Chain A
Amino acid sequence: MTPQAVSKPIHYRYFINMGPQHPSTHGVLRLVVGLYGEYVLSLEPVIGYGHRMQELMAERRPWPAFLPNTARMDYACGLPHQHCYLLAIEKMLGIAVAQRGEYLRVITTEINRIVSHLLWLGANLLDLGAFTPILYCFDDRENFLDILEDVTGSRLTHCWYRAGGVLNDVPADFADRLRAVIKRMYGRFEIYKNLVTDNIIFQKRTKDIGIITPDLARRYGATGPVLRGSGIAYDIRKSMPYSIYPQLDFDIPVGEQGDCFDRYIVHIEEMRQSLRIIEQCIDRLPEGEVRTKLPKKMTLPPGDCTFSVEGARGEVTYYLVGDGSDVPYRLKVRAPCFSNLSLLPELCEDMLLADMIATMGSLDLVIPEVDR
C-alpha cells in the first residue's frame, strides 16, 4: 500500500498534533503526524509529559521506600515491576525468599498480566471503533481485580511484595474463589472468539496491517507480545528463567507474520497460558511462612546487580548499583514500552491514518512507563 503521495513534493505534507490529550494515545503521548491526505508520511512521538523522575526518586530514599513507586510506572500491570525490583534487591543482598511467598508472587503477577491484557483488549478494540467488547473485558477484569483487591488492598497501584516474600497471607477462601473465576474465564474465550476474533470487520482492520518483521523488531529491541507476534519465541520466563517458572508447565504463543491480528492472538493465548500457570501454582501452593524474617535495616553492598522479568508488555529490567548505604546509588529501569514505541515511526510510514491507530493500539503502550 504505497501511496502516490511519496513521490509528491514535500510541501504537500501537512502536520497534525495527535495528543497529548487524545483518547487513542492512552495517556499523554503526543504524535506529530505528517500527512498527505489520509496517508501518514512521517510520524514523530513526543514523550516526557508524564515524567516524574522515578529513577532519581529511587536514588534519594532508602530502598524499601521505593516499593510503592514501582506500581506507578506501569499502572496497568504493576506487580511484575515490583517483582523485578525485589528480585534485584534479593539477589544483591542474598535474601532467601519464603516458598509460599514466591508462589503467591507468581500467582498475583499472572493475575495482573491477565488483568492488563484484558484492559488492552478492550481499549484496543475501542480504538478500532468496537464499543461492545470493552464491556465484556471489564466484566472479566473486575472478577480478577476483586480477588487482587482482597489480597493486596488496592486495585491498580499494588504494593504487596516485600523483601523475602509478601506482606501478609491470603484470605482462606482465596484458592476457591480464584478457581471459580478461572473456570469462568475459560468459558469466556468462546465469547471473545465469536464477538471479536471471527468478526469480519475486525479481521479486515487488523490482518496484514502493521506488519512488524522479525528484523524490525530485533533492531528496535521490541519485546513481549510485539516480538512474539512476529514469530520469535522470546519470553524471559523461558529464556532466562527466574523465580519458580522453571517448575511450571506453560507454552509461549507466537504469531506468524507479525501483523496486528497476530499480536491480538498472542495476547489471547497468553491469557490462557497465565490461567494454566495460576492453576498449577494453586495446586502446588506450599504451606508455611509467606515472608522470611529479616533484620530491620539492610544496606546495599557496593556493586551492581541487574534483573529481568517478563512484564505484560515485555522485558522489564532493573539495574541497581549500591554503595554501602541503604539508598541505591543508581537505579535504571528498562521499560518495554519505550522500545516498542520507538519502532512506530518506521512502521507507520506510508500507512493510512486509521491503520496507524490500529497499529499503535496493538503495541499495547502504557505511556507512564515510557516517561517514568
Chain B
Amino acid sequence: MKKYFSDLVTGAKSLVAGFIVTFKALLSPVVTVQYPREKLPVGKGYRGHPILILEDDTGRPKCIACGSCMRLCPSQCITVQGEKKEGDKRKYPTVFQVDFTRCSLCGTCSEVCPVAALEYSDVYGLAGFTREEFQYDLLADLPGLVETGFKPVSAD
C-alpha cells in the first residue's frame, strides 16, 4: 500500500518534470522554418539536376560530347550525341537529354566529366503532372534552369 502511494508520487513528479521541459520549449525561440513562406538558402554541396556549363568567351557549352557521363550513369538516364561541324575546333553536343524521372542525383556525371562541363543546379521541389515534363533537354534550356513545361512548386 505504501509502495502504491510512493509510486504515485514519483510518477506524478516525472510527469511534472516532462511538463517543465515542454513549458521551457514554449518560451524558447522558434526553430521551425515555415517552408513555403520562408526558405533557407540551398546548401553549398546540394545536388540538383545536372546543367551544362558554358564557355565564358563563346557562350557555347563546354561539353565535348565524349559520352563518359552517359556510360557511367548508374540509372542510364543521360543521352548525349555530338558532332564536329565545319569550322569548329572540337565536337559540340547536338543532343543532351536527361530523363529526370530516373535520375538519382548521385553526381557521378559531373564527377567523371573530363572538362568539368556538368554542374548541379540548386533547383528543388520540382513537380509535374506528366512524365514528359521531366525529359530535360539541357541544350534547349541553357544555362539549365528549365523554363518550359513546368515550374518549380516553390516558385509560386
Chain A residues in contact with chain B, CB under 8 A?
61-62, 64-69, 72, 132, 136, 139, 142, 146, 149-154, 157, 159, 167-168, 171, 191, 194-195, 198-201
Beyond A64-B72, A139-B31, A153-B107, 9 additional contacts (C-beta under 8 Å) are A68-B106, A146-B43, A151-B45, A157-B104, A194-B18, A194-B21, A195-B18, A199-B14, A200-B11
Chain B residues in contact with chain A, CB under 8 A?
7, 10-12, 14-15, 17-18, 20-22, 25, 31, 43-47, 72-74, 104-108, 111, 120
Nearest A residue (CB) for B24: A191
Q: Are A159 and B106 closer than 8 Å at their CB atoms? A: yes
Contact of A200 among B14, B22, B44, B46 (CB under 8 A): B14
| B47 → chain A closest CB, angstroms | 5
Contact of B44 among A68, A150, A159 (CB under 8 A): A150
Q: Are B74 and A65 closer than 8 Å at their CB atoms? A: yes
| A206 → chain B closest CB, angstroms | 14
Q: Are B43 and A149 closer than 8 Å at their CB atoms? A: yes
Question: Could you write out 30 A-B pairs with CB less than 8 Å apart?
Answer: A64-B108, A65-B72, A65-B73, A65-B108, A66-B74, A67-B108, A72-B104, A139-B31, A146-B43, A149-B45, A152-B45, A153-B47, A153-B107, A153-B120, A154-B105, A157-B104, A157-B105, A159-B106, A167-B107, A191-B21, A194-B20, A194-B21, A195-B18, A195-B21, A195-B22, A198-B18, A199-B18, A200-B7, A200-B10, A200-B11
Q: Are B14 and A153 closer than 8 Å at their CB atoms? A: no
Taken together as a complex, chains A and B put the C-alpha atoms of A68 and B111 apart, in Å, by 13
Nearest A residue (CB) for B111: A167
Taken together as a complex, chains A and B put the C-alpha atoms of A195 and B22 apart, in Å, by 8
Among B7, B15, B72, B74, residue most surrounded by chain A Cβ atoms (within 10 Å)? B74
Instruction: List 3 tightest A-B contacts by C-beta distance, closest first.
Output: A68-B106, A200-B11, A153-B45
| A111 → chain B closest CB, angstroms | 15
Taken together as a complex, chains A and B put the C-alpha atoms of A64 and B69 apart, in Å, by 13
Within 8 Å CB of B18, what residues of A? 194-195, 198-199
Q: Are B111 and A171 closer than 8 Å at their CB atoms? A: no
Q: Are B15 and A199 closer than 8 Å at their CB atoms? A: yes
Nearest B residue (CB) for A154: B47
Taken together as a complex, chains A and B put the C-alpha atoms of A152 and B20 apart, in Å, by 37
Within 8 Å CB of A146, what residues of B? 43
Nearest B residue (CB) for A197: B14
| B35 → chain A closest CB, angstroms | 13
Contact of A171 among B10, B11, B31, B44 (CB under 8 A): B44
| B87 → chain A closest CB, angstroms | 32
| B22 → chain A closest CB, angstroms | 6
| A64 → chain B closest CB, angstroms | 7
| B23 → chain A closest CB, angstroms | 11
Within 8 Å CB of A142, what residues of B? 31
Quick one: given A67-B106, A191-B21, A195-B21, are A150 and B74 in contact (CB under 8 Å)? no
Among A66, A132, A136, A153, residue most surrounded by chain B Cβ atoms (within 10 Å)? A153
Nearest A residue (CB) for B16: A194
| A321 → chain B closest CB, angstroms | 20
Nearest B residue (CB) for A62: B72
Within 8 Å CB of B44, what residues of A? 150, 171
Taken together as a complex, chains A and B put the C-alpha atoms of A292 and B22 apart, in Å, by 49
Taken together as a complex, chains A and B put the C-alpha atoms of A168 and B45 apart, in Å, by 10
Nearest B residue (CB) for A153: B45
Nearest A residue (CB) for B22: A132
| B29 → chain A closest CB, angstroms | 12
Contact of B43 among A68, A153, A157 (CB under 8 A): A153
Q: Are A200 and B74 closer than 8 Å at their CB atoms? A: no
Quick one: given A139-B31, A157-B104, are A150 and B45 in contact (CB under 8 Å)? yes
Taken together as a complex, chains A and B put the C-alpha atoms of A146 and B44 apart, in Å, by 11
Nearest A residue (CB) for B44: A150
Q: Are B47 and A68 closer than 8 Å at their CB atoms? A: no
Within 8 Å CB of A62, what residues of B? 72
Nearest B residue (CB) for A71: B106
Nearest A residue (CB) for B7: A200
Q: Are B46 and A61 closer than 8 Å at their CB atoms? A: no
